[in-house]
Structure 1
Amino acid sequence: MQKNTITKNPKNNIDFLKSSSNWKSLYYFNQNIDTSFFEKNKFLKDLKKVEDLMFSMVCDDSWMGHCSKYHLQSGGKRFRAILALLAAKIFGLNKQSSINVAVCCEFIHNASLIHDDLQDRDLLRRGQPTIWSRFGDHSAINLGDYFISASFEAITKCQVDPEYKCFAVEELSNIIKQTVRGQSNEILGRSDFHSKMFDYESTSRAKTGSLLSLPVKLVMLLKGSRECSKNFLIPLYETGLAYQIQDDISDFIGIKDRGLPGRDLKEGKMNVLIMHYIENATPGEKFLLQQFLKKRFDSISEEEILHWIIQIKNKGGLENSIKHLKNIAAKAIKLSEVNPKLNMIVKFVINRTLNRISEKIKP
């Protein structure tokens, strides 16, 4: 297969990413991030407690309990739970509370996935039918709400000063609102060629960055820390932007679990690759892409998607997005150096974010 060819088989698209001259630079940048402080084996028992508590809270004999079990049994990396446990260890939060923070963050994350799948009409999640495609739209809406309510319950069970719990509940509410605003802006901005890179980055920080900052914010608030300001946590919002760029690239070449490459194109999403394409395209090329993105979801053929994947790559969309990802990752780490504890957390998040690509594609 030629390197500049995208096929419908995601495994064959590995060469497509390797053809980027910036990929090796990003790969070795990630290899040099020091995360020796993190030993996953030391968190396995606590992760099991997180898993058990999640199931006990929502998996009863009701219809919502049935849907909960179906979704939670599909797996997932439990990255937010690990991040919460790591932050709790670094900042010194007690074990019982750290378990509940991890549960809270996983419920919020999974609620966002369920609602995202419904809005994007994604058929698969973690290799199995999504909640809406298996049980209907109404069950997806209800289950997402069910998980959100469970997240608040988890925080109320933390064994800390009641005043600290009030601060944490307030912040949880704020983060949910930020995430919803970010998701709303993303949907409203689909096929909007007036959007700029600034708009894309702002939306990504609000939607993805807020959820990635949540475990650290909750741990610090429950510990009684007053450092938990937005300025202090700016590096974590940058990790959210890096995560979103990585996610866009993974979707573009088809190494996510959505079945085929370019699902964002089919949904009309103004992702980072499209933003970079627009910066270099002629007025005529922009017009043609805009007309494509405005088409009805169910009227777009795979051949059209593959055509635009190649066009975007040939205009430097992939190259520039990989470079963009490295720059944001480096920026997040640099900004966090003012606080050694925060620096460890940011390095961990960036490393795990870049691993989502590099574990599947090595130079």
Structure 2
Amino acid sequence: MDLKEQIGKKADIVNEALKKSLSLKGLKIHDAMRHLIFGGGKRLRPVIAMVSCEAVGGKKEDCIPFAVAVELIHNFTLLHDDIMDKDDFRRGMKTTHVVFGEPRAIIAGDALFARAYEEILKLKIKPEKLKILLEDFSEMIREIAEGQDMDIDFEERTDVLEEEYLKMVEKKTARIIKTSAMGGAVIGNGSKEQVENLSEYGRLIGVGFQIWDDVLGLVGDPKRTGKPVGNDVRRGKKTLIVVHGLNHAGDEDKKTLLNTLGKENAANEEIETIIEILRKTNSIDYAKNMALSLVEKAKENLEVLPDSDSKQILSMLAEYCVGRDK
């Protein structure tokens, strides 16, 4: 089975639904809402929602509004992240706030947030299931904000623990993937065990996904990732790699790490020195191995599902999260 083809088919369905959802016209905010979302993206979260729905015996068509909702929220967070991080480019194009200005980009993000709830209310499911989804969706958005707050706080700290980093990633990155898988299972009328296992599957691959992203940000090919090497170092981000490195580097290397972290104008040579230190402490391999381990645990949660193409796709998606190069 070709995973790229399977993702592509479902991504096409999501894209058509997104076009309808964001067909609003007449104001500049409407163009701002569309700018990032139609500039690319893997559509990983809505695909996971739809495949999870099918994996428990549901129909992907029933899940489309929910799949659109999670993609809208994902882009809402990216739009606001770009403002906070002062990023000028994403997906190889100028970010929304660069094109439309910060005030309009902020309200465009808010409008995507609202539109997501409008999409969820289109679901044709029992009221008790809708209540479950809405409660989880609201909790997810709060936790994403909490994770972002933790990430901001970590930039100013040199004593971040591995457990704190993992908790931050669970909230900021993994929570929406957890919700995607869980929501799909609820809409597909999965059993309590299937819903719980798919929720855990989403959480685990979400954390693994972010750790792998941290690896790519340090040693990935900028032509593939679309991000400059060492961007996280220049911003002072406390990734798992950096947290591990700070805890295992010698005094001189630790001093070099601390002096370079958060240095926005750090030269490429300085970034190369940091990468060498993090290789010496085995921090890059440590992060890679943790991501791979999380994915293996995630796949174990799929054992409650009946054998099907959808189950196989979920397993392949988990592996993709830690095998991609962008």
- Tell me the equivalent position of 2:204: 238
User: Aligned partners of 1:45, 1:261: CA distance in 2, in Å?
Assistant: 32
The alignment partner of 1:171 has SS state of helix
The alignment partner of 1:269 has SS state of coil
- Tell me the equivalent position of 2:14: 50
TM-score w.r.t. the length of structure 1 is: 0.79
Unaligned runs of 5+ in 2: none
Cα distance change on mapping 1:349 and 1:181 into 2, 3 Å: farther
TM-score w.r.t. the length of structure 2 is: 0.87
Supply the RMSD in Å over aligned alpha carbons.
Answer: 2.6
Pairing 1:247–2:213 present: yes
Superposition deviation, residue 46 in structure 1: 5.1
Residues 114 and 131 in structure 1, CA contact (< 8 A), matched pair in contact too: yes
Q: How many residues align?
A: 319
Superposition deviation, residue 271 in structure 1: 0.6
Pairing 1:350–2:315 present: no
**Worse-superposed segment, 65-74 or 299-308:** 299-308
Pairing 1:202–2:170 present: no
Counterpart of 2:279 (choices 313, 323, 348) is: 313
Cα distance change on mapping 1:302 and 1:351 into 2, 3 Å: same
- Tell me the equivalent position of 2:269: 303
- Amino acid aligned to 2:174: G
User: Aligned partners of 1:190, 1:303: CA distance in 2, in Å?
Assistant: 22
Counterpart of 1:180 (choices 145, 152, 160) is: 145
Pairing 1:278–2:246 present: yes
Matches within 5 A, 1:53-202: 53-61=17-25, 62-202=27-167
Residues 43 and 85 in structure 1, CA contact (< 8 A), matched pair in contact too: no
- Amino acid aligned to 2:267: S
Superposition deviation, residue 140 in structure 1: 2.5
User: Aligned partners of 1:65, 1:324: CA distance in 2, in Å?
Assistant: 41
Residues 169 and 207 in structure 2, CA contact (< 8 A), matched pair in contact too: yes
The alignment partner of 1:260 has SS state of coil
Cα distance change on mapping 1:348 and 1:179 into 2, 3 Å: farther
Cα distance change on mapping 1:318 and 1:48 into 2, 3 Å: closer
Residues 230 and 271 in structure 2, CA contact (< 8 A), matched pair in contact too: yes
User: Aligned partners of 1:217, 1:192: CA distance in 2, in Å?
Assistant: 34
Superposition deviation, residue 338 in structure 1: 4.9
- Amino acid aligned to 2:20: S
Superposition deviation, residue 65 in structure 1: 1.2
User: Aligned partners of 1:75, 1:188: CA distance in 2, in Å?
Assistant: 30
Superposition deviation, residue 330 in structure 1: 2.2
